[in-house]
């Protein structure tokens, strides 16, 4: 059976104002009214980007500014209530999209949510190779607090020194985790570029996401630990 | 589109500005002054605002309200530590402070509305048309309740506040428009009662706020109090006079301390003289700038931690900031400028008038909203983290501080018990872990259809609009139906209360206009009488006895009209005195001119 060669328009919807068909763009081609972004739009699509992890932050900012000029409520003050509501909702989505994608860690967390349905906050997990160091740090933290509450300056100073040393280990671990993440960014982006749907390909994607998730989880743990130390040392 | 004006509703002074073509311009009052002191006096014959009210501060302290902005959106417990400095009786009702003025209990938004009305009238006189819309500025670190209170004040004054703009960002608009700056700027805004720091990126007409921080209870008022404390203590020890129950003397000291503070920004020392009651002579004290700086150094230091936090939140270091802009009267203090310079490692800009730049920026934003300027856009942030109280009294964050607004967050709610029909939600704002340490914004109850535990799914959307004001909507996910919810603000007026205040203000409006006219006539009469007295003292040989008698009679007539409440007889008597003294004034003028010319050669005068 032969099917029509003509391509059917995808994702067509109607303008809320003049009911004419509109494409995926932000303004109706007929009446030029601003159109609401789809409720299910993802942040990559919102900012006109493929789902890659390496993003050129300068062009991201340019796109954000451009869309801000299109949607911001400042430019809809005298308009109808519906246009103002659309402007407000679109601006809110745009601002969250930009904030999320601008930061590499939030970007990967968001991608994991999109691709693997991960929870909003990935729980921290202690890196196995640092178990001993972590136990020591917890001990030193306790010693430091105890010494401080007993006004034992000498012990406090000793514990603080040990904590500063441990901080170096944690900093190095975090840097290592981040550099591996950067490598995975490259791997992920190449997989996206290939764009194949072959089974092996999607298994590879899944594997990459899983590793990224593990790295993020450890990174969260290390970051919390570093924050605790920073807080204690003041 | 209706005209929109820009208003800087300050702790100490307020201004109204508009866009004159491409130049933002402050509208001056009848005497040419651009600033309206943010003071409201409730006299037996009516309400006074601005300079006229400021004159009442010392004579009528318990009926004259100043620095009311410090009470906006606050509960009584928030302001208890500073109540000793205010001669008012404060109570709280429904989470809103009430100031007891005579037999009235007034809320801060009602009092602020009087100032807004005065500015509105000033703009209306200038344009010759009614003004209904305004952009009003607030400190960037104002929370939701304080912003809402400002919007309420506008409503009560008959103004639709189309946008609340943060003061430092408003300043950056005026600054950026004038200087065509690109790059990273820090706006350090130390006003009469509040402190803000904002870090912005300016690029191609976009003003993107990267981070903001501050303290809504730190400003020039606190600097004054350090001097006031010294003076009060010394008056007590040296002269044995206690200030308790002497609001007049307290106010007099406060006003003189403020003047001394201002002088110390230009001079190395300033003397305060306070006339003492009960014939105890005068208190006299010279403060050196060094002594003043010692008194306030901790206050200046207190501004630096928010600066460091904002720089950090912006992901920058202090030296990354290209320009520092100073805003607010308190940045005239040399110590403040020194500390700011030390922090950023470069001298701050202070060439724009720090007292006017916020109002000018509000006018620029008003023009953007009117569709005038189209190439400038301000992207501001919410200053405080928004969250809800969860199990164990912990705050769970929904929208982090320094998120670009508008922004929204969604949260799904369900039930823990079979057949549970409601969920209580407590909204908070602040940076602390525990709910009780943060600001309570509002509470509401989500209605849920009775179903087994965990089955209902209600999605609540928290939206912060471009004003930094929160709204909440809810939707039943299973049915897709929107739910109406009634949010009860923790520190704010209810809609009904605002409605009542709007009605009340109409009733008083007529009375206010009459009182204003009377005050203006009185002021003119007083200066006219003073000038005539002076002229009479030098009238020897310049006027006939008949002329002198006529002048004296006209003066007596004028004085007798001044006791009345109608301004028209006063105006007539002023006119009569003007006529009677005209001949003498002219002769005096000529003789003064001759005296001045006597010793000069012709070449000097032409």
**Mean per-residue pLDDT pooled into runs of 10, chain A (234 residues):** 35 72 72 79 89 89 94 93 92 94 90 76 80 85 87 85 88 91 88 76 86 89 88 81
Angle, helix B495-537 to helix B144-156, in steps of 10 degrees: 70
Residue pair B361/B407 in contact by the 8 Å Cβ criterion: no
Calculate mean pLDDT across residues B533-537: 85
User: Of B208, B201, B209, B210, whose CA–CA distance to B182 is shortest?
Assistant: B201
Q: Which residues contact A90 (CB under 8 A, 6 or more apart)?
A: A26, A34, A36, A37, A71
**What pLDDT, on the 0 to 100 scale, is given for residue A119?**
62
Question: What is the rounded distance in angstroms from the CA atom of residue B512 to the CA atom of residue B242?
Answer: 37
Buried b (16+ CB within 10 A) or exposed e, B47-79: bbbbbbbbbbbbebbbbbbbbbbbbbbbbbebb
Judgement on whether residues A147 and A92 belong to the same structural domain of the protein: no
Q: How is residue A105 annotated by DSSP?
A: H
Pairing, β B23-26 against β B13-20: antiparallel
Nearest CA in chain A to B381: A95
Question: What is the rounded distance in angstroms from the CA atom of residue A206 to the CA atom of residue A227?
Answer: 31
Give the sign of the dihedral formed by CA B509, CA B515, CA B517, CA B523: negative
| Residue range B23-53, pLDDT digits in tens | 999 999 878 899 999 999 998 878 899 998 9
| Averaged pLDDT score across all residues of chain B | 89
Reported pTM: 0.82
Question: What is the rounded distance in angstroms from the CA atom of residue B514 to the CA atom of residue B543?
Answer: 38
Taking the CA of residue A77 and the nearest CA in chain B, the distance in Å comes to 6
3-state secondary structure A111-161: HHHHHHCCCCCCCCCCCHHHHHHHHHHHHHHHHHHHHHHCCCHHHHHHHHH
Count of structural domains within chain A:
2
Judged by DSSP in three states, B1 sits in coil
Q: Tell me how many residue pairs between chain A and chain B have CB atoms under 8 A apart.
A: 57
Taking the CA of residue A91 and the nearest CA in chain B, the distance in Å comes to 6
**What pLDDT, on the 0 to 100 scale, is given for residue B595?**
67
Pairing, β B39-43 against β B64-66: antiparallel
Q: How is residue B69 annotated by DSSP?
A: G
Strand partners, B489: B442
Mutate to test the interface with B, among A91, A94, A224, A234 (most CBs of B within 10 A): A91
Kindly report the CATH number assigned to the domain that includes residue A97.
1.10.287.110
**What pLDDT, on the 0 to 100 scale, is given for residue A3?**
36
What share of chain B has pLDDT > 90, as a percent? Answer: 53
Judged by DSSP in three states, B199 sits in strand
Q: How is residue B3 annotated by DSSP?
A: -
**What pLDDT, on the 0 to 100 scale, is given for residue B604?**
47
**Cα–Cα distances in Å, from B347 out to B190, B297, B323, B341?**
17, 19, 8, 5
**What pLDDT, on the 0 to 100 scale, is given for residue A5?**
37
Pairing, β B133-138 against β B4-9: parallel
Residue pair A60/A10 in contact by the 8 Å Cβ criterion: no
A30 conformational bin, left if phi > 0, alpha if psi -120 to 50, beta if neither: alpha
Looking at beta carbons, which residues of chain A come within 8 Å of B404?
Answer: 95, 98-99
Q: Which residues contact B51 (CB under 8 A, 6 or more apart)?
A: B31, B33, B36, B37
**Cα–Cα distances in Å, from B220 out to B71, B254, B520?**
16, 12, 30
- The first and second tokens of residue B275, run together, are 């006339």
Judgement on whether residues A160 and A194 belong to the same structural domain of the protein: yes
Calculate mean pLDDT across residues B365-388: 94
The mean-pLDDT minimum among A183-197, B149-163, B194-208, B327-341 falls in A183-197
Residue of higher predicted confidence among B270 and A230 = B270
Judgement on whether residues A69 and A149 belong to the same structural domain of the protein: no
In a domain, A4, yes or no: no
**What pLDDT, on the 0 to 100 scale, is given for residue A15?**
80
Residues of B with catalytic function:
8, 69, 167, 189
In a domain, A119, yes or no: no
In a domain, A111, yes or no: no
Among A54, A85, A102, the domain-final residue is A102
Judgement on whether residues A92 and A175 belong to the same structural domain of the protein: no
The whole domain housing A154 covers 128-233
**What pLDDT, on the 0 to 100 scale, is given for residue B598?**
60
What Rg, from alpha-carbon coordinates, does chain A have? 25
Residues of B with a Cβ under 8 Å from any A Cβ are 1, 162-163, 203-204, 206, 208, 365, 368-371, 374, 377-379, 403-408, 463, 465-466
User: Of B203, B176, B210, whose CA–CA distance to B349 is shortest?
Assistant: B176
Residue B602's pLDDT band, with cuts at 50, 70 and 90, is: very low
Calculate mean pLDDT across residues B211-218: 93
| Residue range B72-110, pLDDT digits in tens | 999 998 888 888 888 888 889 888 999 998 888 899 999
In a domain, A8, yes or no: no
Quick check: B434 pLDDT over 70? yes
In a domain, A118, yes or no: no
Calculate mean pLDDT across residues B423-451: 89
ipTM of the complex, rounded to two decimals? 0.82
Judgement on whether residues A135 and A225 belong to the same structural domain of the protein: yes
**What pLDDT, on the 0 to 100 scale, is given for residue A2?**
36
Judgement on whether residues A88 and A19 belong to the same structural domain of the protein: yes
In a domain, A92, yes or no: yes
For chain B, domains (ranges, CATH) are 4-181+351-379 (3.30.420.40), 220-299 (3.90.640.10), 384-493 (2.60.34.10), 497-598 (1.20.1270.10)
Judgement on whether residues A96 and A137 belong to the same structural domain of the protein: no
Calculate mean pLDDT across residues B371-390: 93
Mutate to test the interface with A, among B406, B433, B477 (most CBs of A within 10 A): B406
Judgement on whether residues A134 and A43 belong to the same structural domain of the protein: no
Judgement on whether residues A140 and A195 belong to the same structural domain of the protein: yes
Judged by DSSP in three states, B424 sits in strand
Judgement on whether residues A132 and A208 belong to the same structural domain of the protein: yes
Judgement on whether residues A190 and A229 belong to the same structural domain of the protein: yes
Quick check: B606 pLDDT over 50? no
Looking at beta carbons, which residues of chain A come within 8 Å of B379?
Answer: 68, 72, 95
**What pLDDT, on the 0 to 100 scale, is given for residue A204?**
86
- The first and second tokens of residue A38, run together, are 């789809």
Q: Which segments of B304-404 does DSSP mark as H helices, in order?
A: 304-313, 334-344, 357-369
Measured between alpha carbons, how far apart are the two ends of chain B, in Å? Answer: 53
The mean-pLDDT minimum among A12-16, B39-43, B141-145, B601-605 falls in B601-605
Residue pair B186/B321 in contact by the 8 Å Cβ criterion: yes
**What pLDDT, on the 0 to 100 scale, is given for residue A234?**
74
Looking at beta carbons, which residues of chain A come within 8 Å of B209?
Answer: none
**What pLDDT, on the 0 to 100 scale, is given for residue B600?**
52
| Residue range B505-531, pLDDT digits in tens | 766 665 666 766 777 788 788 888 888
Judged by DSSP in three states, B486 sits in coil
Buried b (16+ CB within 10 A) or exposed e, B479-513: eeeeeeeebebbbbbeeebbeebeeebeeeeeebe
In a domain, A161, yes or no: yes
Residue pair B163/B135 in contact by the 8 Å Cβ criterion: yes
Judgement on whether residues A133 and A40 belong to the same structural domain of the protein: no
φ, ψ for residue B349, nearest 5 deg: -85, 130
């Amino acid at each position: 059976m032969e099917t029509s060669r003509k391509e059917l328009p995808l994702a067509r919807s109607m303008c809320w104002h003049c009911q004419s068909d509109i494409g995926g763009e932000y303004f109706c081609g007929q009446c030029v009214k601003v159109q609401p972004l789809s409720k299910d739009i993802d942040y990559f699509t919102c900012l006109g980007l493929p789902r890659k992890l390496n993003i050129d932050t300068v062009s991201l900012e340019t796109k954000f500014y451009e869309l801000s000029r299109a949607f911001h409520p400042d430019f809809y003050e005298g308009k109808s209530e519906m246009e103002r509501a659309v402007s407000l909702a679109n601006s809110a989505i745009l601002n969250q999209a930009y904030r999320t994608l601008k930061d590499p860690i939030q970007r990967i967390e968001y991608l994991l949510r999109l691709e693997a349905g991960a929870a909003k906050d990935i729980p921290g997990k202690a890196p196995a190779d640092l178990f001993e160091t972590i136990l020591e740090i917890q001990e030193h933290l306790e010693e430091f607090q105890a010494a401080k509450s007993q006004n034992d300056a000498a012990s406090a100073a000793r514990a603080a020194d040990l904590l500063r040393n441990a901080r170096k280990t944690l900093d190095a671990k975090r840097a290592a985790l981040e550099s591996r993440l950067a490598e995975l960014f490259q791997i992920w982006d190449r997989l996206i570029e290939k764009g194949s749907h072959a089974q092996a390909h999607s298994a590879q994607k899944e594997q990459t996401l899983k590793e990224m998730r593990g790295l993020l989880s450890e990174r969260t743990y290390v970051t919390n630990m570093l924050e605790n130390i920073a807080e204690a040392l003041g | 589109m209706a005209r929109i004006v820009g208003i800087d509703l300050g702790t100490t002074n307020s201004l109204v500005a508009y866009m004159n073509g491409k130049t933002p311009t402050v509208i001056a009052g009848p005497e040419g002054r651009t600033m309206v002191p943010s003071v409201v006096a409730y006299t037996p014959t009516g309400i006074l605002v601005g300079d006229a009210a400021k004159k009442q501060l010392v004579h009528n302290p318990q009926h004259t309200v100043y620095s009311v902005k410090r009470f906006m959106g606050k509960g009584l417990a928030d302001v208890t530590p500073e109540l000793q400095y205010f001669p008012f009786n404060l109570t709280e009702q429904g989470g809103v402070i009430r100031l007891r003025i005579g037999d009235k209990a007034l809320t801060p938004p009602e009092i602020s509305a009087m100032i807004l009305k005065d500015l509105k009238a000033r703009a209306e006189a200038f344009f010759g048309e009614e003004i209904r819309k305004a952009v009003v500025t607030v400190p960037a670190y104002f929370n939701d309740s304080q912003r809402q209170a400002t919007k309420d004040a506008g409503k009560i004054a008959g103004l639709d506040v189309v946008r609340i703009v943060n003061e430092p960002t408003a300043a950056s608009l005026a600054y950026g428009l004038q200087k065509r700056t690109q790059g990273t700027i820090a706006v350090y805004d130390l006003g009469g009662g509040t402190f803000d720091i904002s870090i912005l990126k300016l690029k191609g007409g976009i003003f993107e706020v990267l981070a903001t921080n501050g303290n809504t209870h730190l400003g020039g008022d606190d600097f004054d109090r350090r001097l006031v404390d010294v003076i009060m203590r010394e008056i007590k020890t040296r002269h044995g006079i206690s200030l308790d129950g002497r609001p007049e003397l307290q106010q007099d000291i406060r006003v003189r301390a403020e003047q001394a503070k201002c002088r110390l920004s230009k001079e190395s020392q300033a003397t305060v003289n306070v006339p003492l009651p009960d014939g105890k002579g005068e208190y006299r004290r010279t403060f050196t700038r060094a002594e003043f700086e010692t008194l306030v150094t901790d206050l200046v230091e207190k501004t630096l931690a928010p600066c460091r936090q904002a720089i950090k939140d912006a992901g920058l270091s202090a030296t990354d900031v290209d320009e520092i802009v100073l805003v607010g009267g308190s940045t005239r203090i040399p110590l403040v400028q020194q500390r700011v310079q030390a922090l950023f490692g470069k001298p701050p800009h202070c060439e724009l008038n720090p007292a006017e730049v916020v109002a000018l920026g509000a006018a620029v934003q008003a023009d953007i909203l009117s569709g005038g300027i189209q190439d400038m856009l301000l992207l501001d942030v919410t200053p405080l983290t928004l969250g809800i109280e969860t199990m164990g009294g912990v705050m769970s964050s929904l929208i982090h501080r320094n998120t670009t607004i508008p922004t929204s967050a969604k949260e799904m709610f369900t039930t823990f018990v079979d057949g549970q029909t409601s969920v209580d939600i407590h909204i908070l704002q602040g940076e602390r872990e525990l709910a009780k340490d943060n600001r309570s914004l509002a509470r509401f109850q989500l209605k849920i259809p009775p179903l087994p535990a965990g089955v209902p799914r209600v999605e609540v959307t928290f939206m912060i609009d471009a004003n930094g004001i929160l709204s909440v909507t809810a939707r039943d996910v299973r049915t897709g139906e929107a739910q109406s919810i009634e949010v009860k603000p923790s520190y704010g007026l209810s809609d009904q209360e605002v409605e009542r205040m709007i009605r009340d203000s109409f009733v008083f409006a007529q009375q206010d206009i009459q009182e204003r006219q009377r005050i203006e006539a009185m002021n003119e009469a007083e200066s006219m009488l003073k000038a005539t007295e002076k002229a009479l003292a030098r009238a020897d040989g310049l006027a006939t006895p008949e002329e002198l008698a006529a002048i004296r009679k006209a003066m007596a007539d004028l004085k007798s009209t001044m006791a009345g409440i109608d301004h028209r007889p006063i105006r007539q008597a002023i006119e009569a005195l003007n006529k009677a003294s005209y001949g003498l004034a002219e002769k005096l003028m000529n003789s003064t001119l001759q005296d001045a010319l006597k010793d000069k050669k012709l070449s000097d005068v032409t």
